Structure formats: structure tokens, C-alpha cells
Chains A and B, each alone.
Chain A
Amino acid sequence: MTPLQIIFLIVAAITLGGALMVVTTRNLVHAALWLVLSLFGIAIIFVLLDAGFFAVAQVVIYIGAIAILMIFAIMLTRRVAKDSGPQINATWPIAGIVTLALFGGLFTVLQNWQQIHVLPPSFPEGYDPLQQLGVELVSPNGYLIPFEVASILLLAALIGAIVIAWSKTK
């Protein structure tokens, strides 16, 4: 077992454990914090995938913005009788069966794929994936249009969120 494999196993275990706690814990604020732990674990996995930019972007966007926004929303929408009763639907056995069936199906399909046990190819000399990403995102022959469309989507979401959450008494 190389150290990288040990690190991957530990981080994957923490992430999956955190995700399980997210979907089963009763206290919503705890669920949000377990989500933060899972997102952090995923950021570390991005580092293992040689995608350092995405790791820090994950921390900035998901933990720094989305998780904080969720915690704010949880604190603003708590009922006075706090978090009473079970937080899980009555149909959870069916959900469990569907989930396990889906995982089994994915596992089987993946096992039957020939290329699944490949090892990563090494980068060519002097290749910087971050620089290539930056160049492609702003070059008209590259992915400029999806980039701009994503910006417009963010703008629309920003305006939409403000308008939806506007208090009608104002």
C-alpha cells in the first residue's frame, strides 16, 4: 500500500461517513456541518486527482458560500419546537432498496468495463492543466461561450434569489 493509497482510503472513508451522517442525523445544523466535512474530504480527493485548482475552488464555493448559506437558512427557518420528531420519511425502506439497487447496478456496469483498472498517465513535460484550462475558457475556439453563459446563469440566479426572498412588506 503506497502512502497515496492509504491517504485515499482514509479520506474516502471520512467523506462517505460524513455523507451518511448528513442523511441520517436528526439535528439539521449537525447535518450541515457533516456536509462541510464531506465537502472538505472531496476537496482533498481533488488534490489527489492533480486538480489543485478545483480543490481550492471547492473550498471557496461550497464550504465558504454554499454551506454557510445553508446554515443561515436552517437557522432562519427553525420551528420553535425545535427539530422534533424523526426527520426521515415513512417510505425510507423503499428509498433504501432503490439506493442499494442503483449502487449494485453501477458497480456491476463498472466491473464489466475493460479499462477500469488503468493507472493515470503522467503529464507531458511542462504541461500545466491550470494554464490550459484558463486559456481554453477565454478562447473563442474553446469554451468561451459556455463560460459566458454560466456567468449569465449566475447573474440570473443572483437577481432571482433576491427577488424571491424579497419581503413583500417593503
Chain B
Amino acid sequence: MSDPVNLIANWLKTVLINWGVSPTWITVILSAIGVVVLASVVLVLDIFLVWVERKVVARFQDRLGPNRLGPFGLFQPIADVIKLLLKEDITPDKADKFLYNLSPVIALATVIMLWAVVPLAPTIFGSDINVGVLYIIAVGSISTLGILIAGWASNNKFALVGAFRTVAQMVSYEVPMVISILIPVILSRSMGINTIVHSQTVWYIVLAPVAAIIFLISSQAELGRAPFDISEAESEIVAGFHIEYTGMKFGLFYAGELLHALTLGGFFATFFLGGWRGWGVETYPILGIFYFFVKAFFMYWVIMWIKYSFPRVRIDQMLNLNWKFLTPLALAALIITALLDKLFQNASYSVYVLVMFLSNVILLYIAYLVVGSYARAERKRVADPEKIRVNFPIKSSGSTIEPRSTSEGAHV
């Protein structure tokens, strides 16, 4: 009873062998059943996330949230789903029908595909590929393609502009995300996610806090959530790439975004908070699922906390933050981690942990000093601008207009 999932899988395998099915087909059938079960569990969790999101945002905004349908409003997502299913399904004129219908499917499918490599427990995982980290990046880049298709197939200029901005943001923030994920890879000497979790006797958030912070910020940008929600800047481009989507297609986009947030929270928990690690997981593997989801939901709460506390940044500020701060910081952290890992690989583990932690703290302090000086220069430039001279004798209907004061020039 300590691992019911594998128990059921082995029982099914013996049943199929008794029926005389060849081993390759058994693998195919069991994999198909596993895929269906995992996708269903993830999608049901997704519906629950709608309720979580609305309750948490309500509490952040000092109100109650949905509390009419069911105890504590728990049936609210069902009402949301019924509403979305009953809405009129509009396809814009001259929109590319096949692509228009395909893109919500891609947006949701790429998020569910991420759950194939998440280790939920020591023995419960989708598949243990030895390039799991790179698989996450690959599936993330397919999702940007889905957004581009959505923006283009809507036959709407605002949707296209929104899609361009979103894709630019997501492609830019993949770079620090990849570099920061490489740091747990160095520390655990493998790209397989199961190996990364197995080697976290000390959680990697202690060994590599800089990588954790960069991963958190990049996740926030990859999700398109505030402060990086240029893609759905309601005041600017009216909901961005999913303007023309109604009903359940919009529901798929919305559900995909919420699930993506939980998935990236789950990945943060896996890479930096120890995944399924906890008390008593070795004897009862099923407890791993509980620990994993506690940590994943905690990180999901942190992502929501950031979303509902910050205003939106401008697109040039966002790109500056990425290319001038996050990427150099991530590269510096990677180089320092690799160097110290090589220098201290024979030392005892507590010395190793201490050295890594201290190096990250020093790097953060240096980054703080650099950002501080840059911010001071910015503040000085905005508050105390240099005066410029403007000469504008304007001839209109024969008379010249003199500038107001020729000695001072104009203030900008």
C-alpha cells in the first residue's frame, strides 16, 4: 500500500501477459493508460486552480472572493466552465479557421506535456529521460509558437501586435531561465530531473539562491503575469493575442495559463525545494506526491503574490531588465558555480554547501551595488535634467514670435 500507482501498473501488466500480449505492445498500452491518467489528473487540478486563483486574489485585494456557490465557493469553477461552454462561438471574418481553432489546443497541450517529466514521488513519474531539463525548455518554446499562431490567425492588428510583444518577451526570458536551470544541472551532474531530485540532500535553494531568484523572475515573465503582463495589458491593447477568442477557446487559454503557473511552481519546487523530499518518503513513496504538491502550491502562491503586488512594467524596461541584468547575473552565477564546484569537489559536503551559499550571497551583494548605482544615476537624470537651449524664431503672418526667455532656454 505504500505505492498504489505502481501496484496497479504491475497488476495490469500481469493481466496483459496472461492474455498473451507481446511485451512491446504491453509497454505501448501501459504508456497510453499512464498518459490518459496523468493528463486527466492534471486537468482536474486545473479546474480547482480557478477557484484558488479567485480566492487568493480576493484576499490580496481585501475582499472575500466567490462564496455563494457551494461551501466557500468551491463550485464556482463548475459555474465558470458551464458559462464558457454556453457562450457563442464566434470566428472572426477572414480568420484562418484551422489555425484559429488549433492555437488554444497547442497552448494547453504544451503545458500538459510538461507534466510528463515531473517526478511526483520516488517511483511515480511520467518518464525518466536523461535530458529532462532540456525537454522543459523545448516544450516551453513550442508554446510561444502557439501564441504566435493565435495572434496571426485572428486577423486582427491588435492581436498580432500583442502576439509579437508576447513572443518577444517569452523568447527573451528563456535565456536567463535556461542558464539558471543549468546551475542545478551542474550541482547534480545530470540533466535528468529524477537525478536532480535524488541529489538534493540539501535543498538547492541553499546552494544556489541566485539561480532560484532568476528562475522565479524568468518564470513570472514566461507566464506573462504581472509585472510582465504586457501580453494582456488591458489598458493598452485590450487583451492581446486572445482578443478574438470567446467561449471555451478562451477558457483553454485561461486554463492553460493557470496550469502553466502551477507547473512552473512545481518545477521551482523540483529544482530548488527538493521536489518530493520530506520525512518518511523512503518508506512510503506515496507521501512524495503530498510533499510535492505542498511545495508546488506554495510556489504558486508566491507567483500569485508577486502578480498581485506589482504594477506593470513597460516593454523597454522589461527588455532592459532581461538583457542588462538577468542574463549577465545568470552567466556570472553559472561561471562561479562551475568554478567552485570544480575547486571544492573533493571537500566535505558541509564545506561545499557553505562555500556555494557564501559565493551566491557575495554575488547578490555585488549585483545589488551595481543596480543601486544604476538606479541612482537614473534618479539623478530624471530629477535634475540638464537644460537645453531651443532657438525658435517663428515667422507667422509677418511678425516674429520671440521665445519666452532667451537666456534660460527650455526645460525638458
Contact = CB atoms under 8 A, between A and B. Distances in A.
A contacts B: CB pair < 8 Å: yes
Interface residues of A, number: 22
Interface stretch (B3-11, B140-148, B301-309): B140-148
B144 A33 contact: no
B33 interface: no
Contacts of B152: 29, 71, 75
Interface in B166-187: 167, 171, 174
For chain B, the bracket of interface size reads 20 to 34
A33 B141 contact: no
Contacts of B160: 75
Contacts of A72: 164, 167
Contacts of A2: 24
Nearest to B129: A52
B363 interface: no
A71 B148 contact: yes
Interface stretch (B77-85, B131-139, B201-209, B213-221): B131-139
B28 A3 contact: yes
A11 to B, nearest CB: 15
Contact of A56 (B135, B145, B167): B135
Contacts, number: 62
Contact of A130 (B24, B96, B131, B137): B131
Contacts of B149: 33
A52 B131 contact: yes
Given A3-B24, A68-B171, A53 B145 contact: no
Nearest to B137: A60
Interface in A121-158: 128, 130
Nearest to B171: A68
A160 interface: no
Contacts of B28: 3
B99 interface: yes
B186 to A, nearest CB: 12
A67 interface: yes
A56 B131 contact: yes
A48 to B, nearest CB: 14
B124 to A, nearest CB: 22
Interface string B372-405: 0000000000000000000000000000000000
A57 B133 CA distance: 11
Given A3-B24, A36-B145, A75-B152, A68 B130 contact: no
B279 interface: no
A163 B134 CA distance: 31
Given A3-B24, A3-B25, A59 B131 contact: no
Interface in A87-126: none
Contact of B138 (A4, A29, A56, A71): A56
Interface string A44-75: 00000000110011011001110110011001
Nearest to A4: B24
B194 to A, nearest CB: 15
Contacts of A59: 138-139, 141-142
B25 A60 contact: no
B248 to A, nearest CB: 23
A80 B25 CA distance: 53
B145 A63 contact: yes
Given A3-B28, A29-B152, A33-B99, A65 B141 contact: yes
Interface in A10-65: 29, 33, 36, 52-53, 56-57, 59-60, 63-65
Nearest to A67: B145
A64 B167 contact: no
Contacts of B137: 56, 60, 64
A57 B145 CA distance: 16
A39 to B, nearest CB: 11
B114 to A, nearest CB: 13
B24 A68 contact: no
A53 B138 contact: no
Contacts of B191: 130
A53 B131 CA distance: 6
B148 A64 contact: no
Interface of B: 24-25, 28, 96, 99, 129-131, 134-135, 137-142, 144-145, 148-149, 152, 160, 164, 167, 171, 174, 191
18 contacts: A3-B28, A4-B24, A52-B129, A52-B130, A52-B131, A53-B131, A56-B138, A57-B134, A59-B139, A63-B138, A63-B145, A64-B140, A64-B141, A64-B142, A65-B141, A65-B171, A71-B152, A75-B160
Task: List the 10 closest A-B pairs by CB distance, nearest first.
Answer: A64-B141, A59-B138, A56-B134, A56-B138, A60-B138, A3-B24, A53-B131, A56-B131, A56-B135, A52-B131
